[in-house]
Chains A and B, each alone.
Chain A
Amino acid sequence: MQTIFDHGKYQDILAVLKNKDERVETQNKLLKENPSMTVVAAKLNIPGPIKNNKKIQEFFVTGLDTFESILLTTGFNFVVKDEWLEKMTGPERFYLIEEDAAKVKSTTSQFEEMKPSFRLFDLDVLTNSNGKIQTLSRADASQPPRKCLICGRPAKECGRSRRHTVEELQKKVSLLVCAELSYNQKERMANWLTRLAQQALLYEASAWPKPGLVDPVEHGAHLDMDIFTFINSSASLQKYLHQAALLGTMSCSTNLSLIFEELREYGKKAEKAMFTATNNINTHKGAVFSLGVFVAATGYSLQRVKRFDAEDIQAVIKQMMVNLIDDDLKHLQAKKHLTAGEKQYLEYGLSGIRGEAHAGYPTVFMNGLPALLASTGSWNSRILTTFLELAMHIEDSTLIKRAGTPSIQEWKNQEISECLAMGGISTNAGRQKLIEIEKEFSQRNLSLGGTADLLIVTIFLGLVKEGLPNEFQDK
């Protein structure tokens, strides 16, 4: 059983009463200096002798982040005038808000009712009416009196009669606070994964020279787009990537193929957003699919195993993809408009990215990621080393589509092998060879779009593994 009361200094009645006097003094001073403003005094109702510690403080601060975002979206301007985060009688914060007190009261009530754990917050709304300082009560906002945490009777009655033991109350408070702290951590994880996913998109686009792809120097193989198209496209995917990250980190379901179905719904909207941002150019359609899968699967795995475990992430992906081939490729005969990957499945029996995905992206886990993690030097050379490794091992449906034949793959592998034999990106000769390959790809209008998608997800995994914050790992 988790408790938040394992640390902290015991507070006696006199300390608590002295603090009440200090609070009233602060409130009165604020209202006298700012008679036309409303004061909100925020604190927690924590029963028992321990009223503050690291966990309680974190709960207080992150809870008030939510309150402040309510103020922000309501259009109420505020300033924080004072703050007693470390005080052993409990953390407190004082806001000055430029709004009518009754309206402010409705936002504090909205906040307190938002989640069961926010019930532990006590936000007093005070106003200076012609020199007389008044506290708005719940009755002033036509609200029923607060109910007891344990039994639902009026809180004042249970408090007065000490109907419930301190232990019983602490247990309930611990439960509420721990649930909220764990939720906050998952939310931070989702935000972090979203940021890395966007970094991965931009890292991939920025590395040079990449044969058959857009980079800041060359885009001969894709005359309809340039690096800026990719920046626009990457920015347009933020919402989707955040949805994918939340889906993975928050879900408690073990039905991963259902999670994948939900992800594809977000993916459809993300494609539309991408096409709007790029004037109908397909920059990241494949990446929307694969990166979304990796972000969701990584979030799901991290929150369960509390460390970076590539095998576990791959296992999650495989479970997500369990119905992919059946759903997508077995009913193609009836479809009117086919994608490149779908046509190639019918014409050559190549399963392309769907086959790769269904198998749990073996090229990423067996070739791309080990190459990236073993690489050293600048991000540009690490990305290109990984790119060459992936390009050698992938069945790239974009390349086959542009060339019109699967045999193009032999030529691609030959060229890349030559570059690698020269020492790859880390030698001048290797780099020169890569620039030549890029030219030839441009001249023959060949693309490695499928490789780019795998490169993006590989970079994403590398960023996660190398940057995983301590708070997301079990030590």
Chain B
Amino acid sequence: MDIKKTALAGTLESSDIQITLSQGSNGINIDLDSSVEKLYGDQIRKVITDTLSAYGIDNANVKAVDKGALDCVIKARTMAAAQRALDTVDQPDWEVF
């Protein structure tokens, strides 16, 4: 599935993550900014990629600013961003969550 428009979800509050999705053509590219990057960078990238895949998104540029979010928060924020980018906000895909 293709991204129709750039979309943002999440805040810069502590324990949150802000995800910005925009059109891309070369797979999932994640630009991650996190204070726990060294320890959890790979895990955060994996949660984002898996969540996008569940929506059938294979090409996207992702800007992620992490403020210590847990996996479930990363997933929820990525879902919200994906739905906004796909214009499907009205039909949340709870099975993904």
Chain A interface residues toward B at CB < 8 A: 13-14, 17, 20-21, 23-24, 122, 124, 135, 145, 156-157, 159-162
Are the C-beta atoms of B39 and A17 separated by less than 8 Å? no
Smallest Cβ distance from B97 to chain A, in angstroms? 8
**A24 with B11: CB separation less than 8 A:** yes
Q: Which residues of B contact A14 (CB under 8 A)?
A: 76
Given A13-B72, A17-B77, A160-B68, are A23 and B39 neighbors across the interface (CB < 8 Å)?
no
Give residues of chain B (11-46) contacting chain A, Cβ–Cβ below 8 Å: 11-16, 35-36, 39-40
Chain B interface (Cβ within 8 Å of chain A)? Answer: 10-16, 35-36, 39-40, 68, 70, 72-73, 76-77
Which among A13, A122, A135 has the highest number of chain B CB atoms within 10 Å?
Answer: A13
In the complex, A334→B15 CA distance in Å? Answer: 72
Given known A-B contacts A13-B72, A160-B39, A160-B40, A122 and B14 have beta carbons under 8 A apart: yes
- The dominant DSSP class at the A interface is helix
Partner of B11, one of A21, A145, A157, A161: A21
Rounded to whole angstroms, the CA-CA distance of A27 and B35 in the bound complex is 23
Name B36's contact: one of A20, A23, A156 (CB within 8 Å): A156
For A157, list chain B residues within 8 Å (CB): 36, 39
Known contacts A24-B11, A160-B36; A17 and B16 CB within 8 A of each other = yes
Which residue of B has the minimal Cβ distance to A122? B14
Majority SS at the chain B contact face: loop
Q: What would 29 A/B residue contacts be, using CB atoms closer than 8 Å?
A: A13-B72, A13-B73, A13-B76, A14-B76, A17-B10, A17-B73, A17-B76, A17-B77, A20-B10, A20-B13, A21-B11, A23-B11, A23-B13, A24-B12, A24-B13, A122-B14, A124-B13, A145-B35, A156-B35, A156-B36, A157-B39, A159-B15, A159-B68, A160-B36, A160-B39, A160-B40, A160-B68, A160-B70, A161-B39
Give the number of residue pairs across the A-B interface with Cβ within 8 Å. Answer: 39
Cβ-closest 10 pairs across A and B = A156-B68, A24-B11, A20-B13, A20-B11, A13-B72, A160-B36, A20-B16, A160-B40, A159-B68, A156-B36
Most chain A CB within 10 A, of B14, B35, B36, B70, is at B14
Partner of B70, one of A122, A145, A159: A159
Q: Across the interface, which residues of B come within 8 angstroms of A21, CB to CB?
A: 11
**A135 with B68: in contact, given A17-B77, A156-B36 (CB under 8 Å)?**
no
- Chain B contacts for A13, CB-based, 8 A: 72-73, 76
Closest B residue to A22 using CB positions: B11
* A406, chain B: closest CB distance, angstroms: 75
A-chain residues with CB within 8 Å of residue B40 when the two chains form the complex: 160-161
| Least CB distance, B91 to chain A, in whole angstroms | 16
A84 to B38 alpha-carbon distance, docked (Å): 36
Q: In the assembly, what is the distance between CA of A266 and CA of B15, in Å?
A: 49
Q: What's the nearest-Cβ distance from chain B to residue A160, in Å?
A: 5
Q: Which chain A positions have C-beta within 8 A of B73?
A: 13, 17
Q: How far is the CA of A14 from the CA of B73 in the complex (A)?
A: 8
Q: Nearest residue in B to A133 (C-beta to C-beta)? A: B12
CB distance from B33 to the nearest CB of A (A): 13
- The docked-state distance in angstroms from the alpha carbon of A145 to that of B35 is 11
How many angstroms from the CA of A124 to the CA of B70 in the assembled complex? Answer: 20
CA distance in complex: A160, B67 (Å):
10
Q: A17-B76, A24-B12, A156-B36 are in contact. List 20 more A-B contacts (CB 8 A).
A: A13-B72, A13-B73, A13-B76, A17-B16, A17-B73, A17-B77, A20-B13, A20-B16, A21-B11, A23-B11, A23-B13, A122-B14, A124-B13, A156-B68, A157-B39, A159-B70, A160-B39, A160-B68, A161-B40, A162-B70
